């Protein structure tokens, strides 16, 4: 039985048509949140909406491209018009075509940065005035191995994911006075590769699918973070795999330790120490 920790909360998950975003959205709804799901793929979105509603959850479905700033702001406004608030945004939408640098064009580069990095900025920019007005909120972007390491054929993707970490560290400082937490969360376990659609996945053998875990099993990590007071953790990078394992063994009220919540323990300790130091320096 899912604990309904987010009973009065409103969440928005971008790129929620399938994959990680669909699992996160469903898990947040199972925890009691009213959830806006947005994507650019109508059929994928409809499938996620059906999943949420079959669990008895509420879903607001929005066809919104994360590269379109005004559409993102209109979506945030529609959420607040429907439900009165916006507590959590999960900036999940991304694309990850594997392209060697020699085959890059400026248009390809711009598209990758627009979707994968500027899309995150647009989500926070759209949610920000509502969160400031209501006195707080959580902005969670999706991290990856590519957030801290380089990979062949992923130059633009790695650049965008590294950029999200810089955005997170810097914005956390400005968001703190508004009680807005800015964090990232990686899957931390093997999930279906990006860009495989629901239809593609259905055609695969059970053996193929069994290599990936169901992203819904990682959703408790997002429920836990969204249920924290925003002032408790900010500017950090979490990983859903270890966090969901911790919650499964110790429950949602587990005693915090970095190694229970991230693969990148030293990085988290360093970020926490910096925050403490800057608070001490005023
Ligand atoms: N799959 C992995 O192994 C993996 C590993 C680490 C991190 N991630 C991250 O997880 C997140 C989700 O990826 P996924 O693997 O579930 O991918 P996915 O391709 O299954 O899902 C991404 C969704 O984003 C949507 N999308 C794409 N461009 C969009 C746009 N411009 N506006 C709105 N929606 C858009 C797609 O239609 C799709 O529904 C991404 O941030 C990705 O970088 C994935």
List the residue whose alpha carbon is closest to atom 14 of ligand 1: 194
CA angle 95, 98, 103 (to 5 degrees): 115
pTM of the model: 0.98
- State the Rg of the chain over Cα: 18
User: What are the two backbone dihedrals, phi and then psi, of residue 55, each rounded to the nearest 5 degrees?
Assistant: -85, -5
The CATH number of residue 76's host domain is 3.40.50.720
Choose among 83, 91, 111: nearest CA to 99.
111
Q: What share of the chain is helix, strand, coil (3-state, %, to 5)?
A: 55, 15, 35
Residues 97/148, Cβ–Cβ less than 8 Å: no
Residues 238/221, Cβ–Cβ less than 8 Å: yes
264 found inside a domain: yes
Pairing outcome for strands 88-91 and 59-63: unpaired
5 found inside a domain: no
Q: How many domains does the chain have?
A: 1
Instruction: Report d(CA 59, CA 72) in Å as an integer.
Output: 17
- What is the edge-to-edge ordering of all strands in the sheet holding 10-14? 59-63, 34-39, 10-14, 88-91, 137-142, 180-186, 237-239
| Spans in the chain with pLDDT lower than 70 | 1
Task: Quote the pLDDT of residue 282.
Answer: 76
197 found inside a domain: yes
64 found inside a domain: yes
Q: Is 154 in the pocket of ligand 1 (CB under 6 A)?
A: no
Distance of CA 16 to the CA centre of its chain: 10
Instruction: Report d(CA 163, CA 74) in Å as an integer.
Output: 25
235 found inside a domain: yes
Q: How far is the CA of 174 from the centre of ligand 1 (A)?
A: 27
Instruction: Report d(CA 52, CA 30) in Å as an integer.
Output: 8
List the residue whose alpha carbon is closest to atom 8 of ligand 1: 144
Q: How far is the CA of 94 from the centre of ligand 1 (A)?
A: 4
Q: Is 20 in the pocket of ligand 1 (CB under 6 A)?
A: yes
4 found inside a domain: no
Q: 241-272, pLDDT tens digit by residue?
A: 999 999 999 999 999 999 999 999 999 999 99
Q: 192-243, pLDDT tens digit by residue?
A: 999 999 999 999 999 999 999 999 999 999 999 999 999 999 999 999 999 9
125 found inside a domain: yes
186 found inside a domain: yes
Q: How far is the CA of 30 from the centre of ligand 1 (A)?
A: 21
Which ligand 1 atom lies nearest to the CA of residue 15?
Answer: 24
User: Which range marks the domain in which residue 249 is found?
Assistant: 10-280
User: What are the two backbone dihedrals, phi and then psi, of residue 44, each rounded to the nearest 5 degrees?
Assistant: -65, -40
User: What are the two backbone dihedrals, phi and then psi, of residue 29, each rounded to the nearest 5 degrees?
Assistant: -65, -40
Q: Is 173 in the pocket of ligand 1 (CB under 6 A)?
A: no
């Amino acid at each position: 039985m899912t604990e309904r920790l987010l009973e009065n909360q409103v969440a928005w998950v971008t790129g929620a048509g399938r994959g990680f975003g669909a699992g996160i959205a469903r898990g947040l709804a199972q925890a009691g949140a009213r959830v806006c799901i947005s994507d650019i793929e109508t059929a994928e979105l409809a499938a996620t909406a059906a999943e949420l509603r079959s669990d008895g959850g509420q879903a607001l479905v929005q066809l919104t491209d994360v590269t379109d700033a005004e559409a993102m702001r209109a979506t945030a406004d529609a959420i607040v018009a429907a439900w009165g608030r916006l507590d959590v945004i999960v900036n999940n939408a991304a694309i990850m075509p594997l392209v060697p640098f020699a085959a890059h064009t400026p248009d390809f580069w711009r598209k990758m940065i627009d979707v994968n990095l500027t899309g995150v900025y647009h989500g926070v920019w759209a949610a920000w005035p509502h969160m400031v007005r209501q006195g707080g909120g959580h902005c969670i972007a999706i991290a990856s191995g590519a957030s801290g390491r380089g990979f062949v054929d992923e130059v633009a993707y790695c650049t965008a994911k590294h950029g999200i970490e810089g955005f997170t560290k810097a914005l956390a400082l400005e968001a703190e006075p508004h009680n807005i937490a800015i964090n990232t969360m990686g899957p931390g376990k093997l999930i279906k590769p990006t860009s495989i659609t629901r239809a593609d996945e259905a055609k695969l053998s059970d053996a193929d699918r069994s290599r990936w875990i169901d992203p819904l099993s990682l959703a408790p990590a997002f429920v836990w973070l969204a249920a924290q007071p925003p002032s408790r953790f900010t500017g950090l990078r979490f990983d859903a795999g270890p966090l969901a394992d911790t919650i499964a063994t110790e429950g949602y009220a587990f005693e915090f330790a970095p190694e229970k919540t991230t693969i990148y323990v030293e990085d988290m300790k360093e970020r926490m120490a910096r925050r403490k130091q800057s608070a001490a320096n005023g």
